[in-house]
Amino acid sequence: MLDDGMEPVGSGTPGGRLAGHDVLDAAFTALAGGRGRVLVAEHPGVLGRNTAVERARAEAARRGVRVAHGRATALDRVAPLSTLVAALGGGGAVGRADLADLDGDRLTVLERLRCALEGAAAGSGLLVCLDDFHHADELTALALRVLVPALADEPVLWLLALHPPLASVAVRNVIDVLLEAGAHRVPPDRLTQDAVRGICEGVLGHRAGPGLVAFASGVDGDPALVARVVRALDAAGHVEVRDDLAEVVPDADRRPLPRAVVDAIRARLADLPEPVAALLEAGAVLGRPFTVHEAAGLTRRSVPELARAAGAAVEAGVLGPQPSGLGFPHELVRRAVYAGVAEPVRVALHREAADVVAAEGRDPEEVVGHLERAGHVGSAAVVDVLHRAVRERVPRDPGAATRLVVRLLDLLGDAHPRSDELTVLAVHLLTATDQGQRAWELAVRALHRDLDAETETLLVCALAELADPAHGQGDDHAVVEYTRRALARADLAGHHRAELRAVQAHRLAGTGQAAAAEEAADEVLAAGARTERGEALMLACAAKGIAALHRGEFARALEHGRAAVREADRLGPFVRQRHARLWLCPPLLALDRFDEADSALRLVERESRRLGTSWVAPEWHYHRARVRAARGDLAGAQAEAEAGVRAARERSAGGLLGKVLGLRAEVRATRGDLAGAEGDLREAERRADAARSAWWRVRWLCAADRDDEAAEVAGGLLAATDLVAFIATTAACAVPLLAGLARRCGDLRALDRLVRVTGELADRNPGVSWPAATAAHVRGLAERDPAALVSAAELHRMSGRRPARAAALADAGELARELGERQRAEELLAEAERLWLACDALPAARRAGRRLAGLKARPGPAVDGVVPDRAPEQWADLTETEVRVARLVARGLTNKAIATRLTLSPNTINTHVRNAFTKLRVTNRVELALQVIAHDEARRDTDQR
């Protein structure tokens, strides 16, 4: 028997007047009148405490009543009368002499105790508090049956506090007898949320947040234990204070419980019978509501034994019935029980739990969780169960199937016999659930192991799918290399070879190797391969379509693309996730069939939403933006491109992100947002191929009126690019713009090449407006033929490409101006300005407007725009070299030509041009030329006067 030394909490406990206060008041009133009484205070649950003992002691001290108090321990049960004697001797309420030599016969001992109690109660009365009375020895229980009635007329107040579920039979019997004889129950006083909040605030000195209050409430209503837990949490750094509000840290549920909390809670549970403790450990390891059968399988105990233990645990309040079995009323208690299990025992229990929950048909992810905690791969039967579960989940919940197979793979390791099979499945599921980067890494890691031919084929095919622009993982060159290695195997079956050759054809086409791609595709088609997965024909048709597009054969590209779509539709939902209709968009766009392209993209979007393949979103936004831009809906094109950029960033589709950023840069530059376009361009150049990056840079430089620099970049682009493939896959306005720059810098060889290539492209696509219009546009620029340019504009009108038509009209108007056909030039430039404005291409519209205004303002030969007022004070700031450079710019020379004439470096000329811009307050070469004209005219007027 121990005296706990606890300070009475009494009225200081938060929450107002506590339950049972009236019972205590009545008992002390009776005591003051010289009458005894018996109070029974049952503790709530196992962790809870009925604070009646502390309140009674406080009230006794206030009234001057003598107190005999003690707390029983489990050891008391083996020492007769130890509980009662220790309590009476505690605090000196009964003299030591009266309690000495109590070894005689029981009647004599009881009589001596009665006399001692009667003497101690003389005067102001006596309070006898027996706390944790459920541990009392049998003789103490029998003694109370005699002493309580014998002292009924004496001022002795008995207070027995106990956990009834933990009491022995003798203690339960005496409690029943006393209650039948008129003893009073003191209702348990569970702490309210406000009371717990008050304890937390008293311990921490700050306001308590709801999370902290909820956490502390898990100890089931003992103020002392609540305070101890809060102190331990604070000491372990699990509590943070912000703006005077104390709250548990966000990841508190993932951190180990502080040892002090674990020890405090487990100390309260230490008195539970051993079968109950085993049941609690099993439930803590299972980590959810559980059945007695599961616990029996886990602990290797009989069901009847654990059924009795479950009844005792429920009665004790440490477990409670839940819809799916037994569960802990508070997660804090479960975590404390779990943390108290020795690590080797815990590992063994998790290993057993994997088999148990698998046999019970529980969630496979729960099985994997136990295996992970056990650090064990599990039995073959468990692995089979998990494998079947993954397969079953694929159709209805691919995300859950993916999580499960990845966790299972991590658990099994590369050396497990089922690892290769599961790796293939995991790669496909990761791809389908938009986790391309992880799928690529997993497949590449597996390909460096010793695989059988089928597994290697399946993984190479998976890599090929990941290299598609929508996924943006890896690159075509890597896939081609892995395919080459796989094709070199001597044990390769025929259908595996067909699949690999189809993959090779598709990826070769993606890298621009059209001839090699067609050779591989023809081999597959000639064999008529219909493999188990059935994708070889689809990929071969797609490869031939891409190769035809790169050769500029648009109708044939569309034909092969449609064959690929038919094959994909035939193969079913899994292959439809490839969204083969996206392969139709480039040839449809090249054939000016914008409505069909839009329809195909709408269908892809609907299928994507239905199949949950959100990874394809960046690509459909990209193609839709290209269609909008070709039609002249630049605002819509920019909106689609921006949506594509967001989608590509969300999915880490790096390759496609470069293309979408470049397209957005092109559209932004065309609309006049040069700063935004420059930002996009810098990022796109790090991700896209050299030809596309060069074109986007040329487009931006032209929009910024930096034509000389644009001409230099264009020269490199034209010299190093497969023009047919470039023209077939890039914006329609690219070729005329490049031709104009080649003409400007006098690169007749490049200009002639463009004339030849565009003519061949038109011949390969009879009846298609865009190639014919492009050929006419380039020829008109090369031959200075306004009629050819007007013809190009008319063909573009028929195709519906407004920006391309506006560009042809603007070039025709400029050429007419140079040839002195003023009225015709005005008409053409006015129409070009109107079209540019309708497309929201403001910089181009302003250029056309300036030229048109210049034609209307000046008689005779026209100049580029309205001549501005001269600025003599700014001209005075120019150096002599800057004046010479400005005059040469006005004469139409490029920076490179000026550098040659003045024997200076191009960089020096660039600096002089920029200085002239700044000092004369102009922004482009046209305005600089106009200032030169205005200055020279003013000087001539002065000289004449």
Distances (CA, A) of 494 to 349, 499, 524: 49, 9, 10
Tokens matching residue 473: 């993982």
Residue entry with tokens 């400029």 = 814
Q: b/e string for 84-103 if b means 16 or more Cβ within 10 A?
A: bbbbbbbeebbeeebbeebe
What is the predicted pLDDT for the residue at 533?
53
CATH number (3.50.50.60, 3.30.420.10, 3.40.50.300, 3.40.50.1110) of 20-186 reads 3.40.50.300
Q: What is the sign, positive or negative, of the torsion defined by CA atoms of 281, 285, 289, 290?
A: negative
Q: What is the mean pLDDT of residues 102-125?
A: 82
Tokens matching residue 486: 């796989």
Residue 181 has pLDDT above 80, yes or no: yes
Q: What is the mean pLDDT of residues 291-298?
A: 92
Q: What is the sign, positive or negative, of the torsion defined by CA atoms of 565, 569, 571, 572?
A: positive
DSSP code, position 42: E
Tell me the pLDDT tens digit for each residue of 761-780.
999 998 888 899 999 999 99
Residue 942 has pLDDT above 70, yes or no: no
Return residue ranges of the chain for CATH 1.25.40.10. 722-856
Q: b/e string for 325-354 if b means 16 or more Cβ within 10 A?
A: bbbbbbebbbbbbbbbbeeeebbbbbbbbb
**Strand 37-42 to 156-162 pairing:** parallel
Q: Which residues pair with 161 in a beta bridge?
A: 41
Residue 682 has pLDDT above 60, yes or no: yes
- The residue among 697, 724, 301 whose CA lies nearest residue 553 is 724
Q: What is the mean pLDDT of residues 164-182?
A: 90
Residue 622's identity, in one-letter code, is Y
d(CA 604, CA 601): 5
Residue 129's identity, in one-letter code, is C
- The residue among 849, 861, 841, 756 whose CA lies nearest residue 801 is 841
Tokens matching residue 490: 């001597």
Q: Which CATH architecture has domain 722-856?
A: Alpha Horseshoe (1.25)
pLDDT band, very low/low/confident/very high, at 505 (cuts 50, 70, 90): confident
Tell me the pLDDT tens digit for each residue of 233-265.
899 899 999 999 999 988 888 888 889 888 888
Q: What is the side-by-side order of every strand in the sheet holding 156-162? A: 66-71, 126-131, 156-162, 37-42, 184-186
User: Is residue 634 within 8 Å of residue 835, measured between CB atoms?
Assistant: no
d(CA 276, CA 268): 13
- Strand segments, DSSP code E, in 537-605 are none
- Residue 132's Cβ-side half-sphere holds a number of Cα atoms within 13 Å equal to 20
pLDDT band, very low/low/confident/very high, at 873 (cuts 50, 70, 90): low
Q: What is the mean pLDDT of residues 477-493?
A: 88
d(CA 740, CA 755): 12
* Helix, strand, coil fractions of the chain, as percent rounded to 5: 70, 5, 25
Q: What is the mean pLDDT of residues 883-893?
A: 79
pLDDT band, very low/low/confident/very high, at 591 (cuts 50, 70, 90): very high
Tell how far CA 706 is from the center of its chain: 43
Of 173-177, 333-337, 532-536, 657-661, the range with the lowest mean pLDDT is 532-536
**Strand 320-322 to 245-248 pairing:** unpaired
Tokens matching residue 586: 């480039």
Alpha helices in 397-527 (DSSP H): 398-412, 419-432, 436-447, 453-466, 476-487, 494-510, 514-527
DSSP code, position 867: P
What is the predicted pLDDT for the residue at 7?
39
Tell me the pLDDT tens digit for each residue of 572-583.
766 777 788 999
Residue 185's identity, in one-letter code, is R
Highest mean pLDDT among 364-373, 583-592, 746-755, 876-885: 583-592
Tokens matching residue 394: 């694929």
Residue 1 has pLDDT above 50, yes or no: no
Helices 138-150 & 106-121, crossing angle to 10 degrees? 50
Q: What is the sign, positive or negative, of the torsion defined by CA atoms of 516, 453, 526, 590?
A: negative
What is the predicted pLDDT for the residue at 787?
86
Residue entry with tokens 């910024």 = 704
Provide the residue count of the chain. Answer: 945
Q: Which helix (H) or strand (E) holds 677?
A: helix 674-685
Tell me the pLDDT tens digit for each residue of 317-361.
889 898 888 999 888 889 999 999 988 898 889 888 888 888 888
Numbers of helices and strands, H then E, in the chain: 49, 10
For the residues of 760-784, what is the DSSP string, one character each?
A: HHHHHSTT-HHHHHHHHHHHHHHHT
**% residues pLDDT > 90 (the chain):** 25
What is the predicted pLDDT for the residue at 378?
64
d(CA 718, CA 733): 15
φ, ψ for residue 756, nearest 5 deg:
-65, -45
Tokens matching residue 421: 């099979």
Tokens matching residue 769: 């407006």
Highest mean pLDDT among 70-74, 194-198, 377-381, 628-632: 628-632
CA angle 533, 536, 538 (to 5 degrees): 105
Q: b/e string for 849-863 if b means 16 or more Cβ within 10 A?
A: bbbbebbeeeeeebb
Other C-beta atoms closer than 10 Å to the C-beta of 480 total 21
Higher pLDDT, 151 or 384: 151
Residue 845 has pLDDT above 60, yes or no: yes
Return residue ranges of the chain for CATH 1.10.10.10. 256-341, 880-944
Tell me the pLDDT tens digit for each residue of 183-239.
999 887 777 888 889 989 999 999 999 998 888 887 766 788 888 889 988 998 999
Other C-beta atoms closer than 10 Å to the C-beta of 791 total 20
Alpha helices in 613-653 (DSSP H): 617-631, 634-650
User: Is residue 2 within 8 Å of residue 73, measured between CB atoms?
Assistant: yes
Highest mean pLDDT among 53-67, 75-89, 391-405, 857-871: 53-67
SS3 state at 163: coil
Return residue ranges of the chain for CATH 3.40.50.300. 20-186
Q: What is the 3-state secondary structure (H, E, C) of 53-109?
A: HHHHHHHHHHHCCEEEEEECCHHHHHCCCHHHHHHHHHHHCCCHHHHCCCCCCHHHH
Distances (CA, A) of 681 to 632, 692, 721: 21, 11, 20
User: Is residue 128 within 8 Å of residue 148, measured between CB atoms?
Assistant: no
Tokens matching residue 457: 């084929």
Cβ-count burial of 112 within 10 angstroms (0-12 exposed, 13-18 middle, 19+ buried)?
A: middle
Question: What would you report as the CA-atom Rg of the chain, rounded to the nearest whole angstrom?
Answer: 45
- The residue among 645, 644, 700, 698 whose CA lies nearest residue 672 is 700
Residue 702 has pLDDT above 60, yes or no: yes
SS3 state at 183: coil
Higher pLDDT, 859 or 840: 840
Residue 6 has pLDDT above 60, yes or no: no
Other C-beta atoms closer than 10 Å to the C-beta of 170 total 17
Q: Which helix (H) or strand (E) holds 394?
A: helix 380-396
User: Is residue 167 within 8 Å of residue 130, measured between CB atoms?
Assistant: no
CATH topology of domain 256-341: Arc Repressor Mutant, subunit A (1.10.10)
pLDDT band, very low/low/confident/very high, at 2 (cuts 50, 70, 90): very low
Q: Which residues pair with 241 in a beta bridge?
A: 246
User: Is residue 388 within 8 Å of residue 382, measured between CB atoms?
Assistant: no
Of 168-182, 726-740, 796-810, the range with the lowest mean pLDDT is 726-740
Residue 864 has pLDDT above 60, yes or no: no
Residue 104 has pLDDT above 70, yes or no: no
User: Is residue 43 within 8 Å of residue 162, measured between CB atoms?
Assistant: yes
Q: Which CATH architecture has domain 880-944?
A: Orthogonal Bundle (1.10)
Q: b/e string for 190-209 if b means 16 or more Cβ within 10 A?
A: bbeeebbbbbbbebbebebb
Residue entry with tokens 């034209």 = 718
Mean pLDDT computed over every residue of the chain: 84
Tokens matching residue 795: 């063909």
- The residue among 554, 586, 580, 578 whose CA lies nearest residue 566 is 580
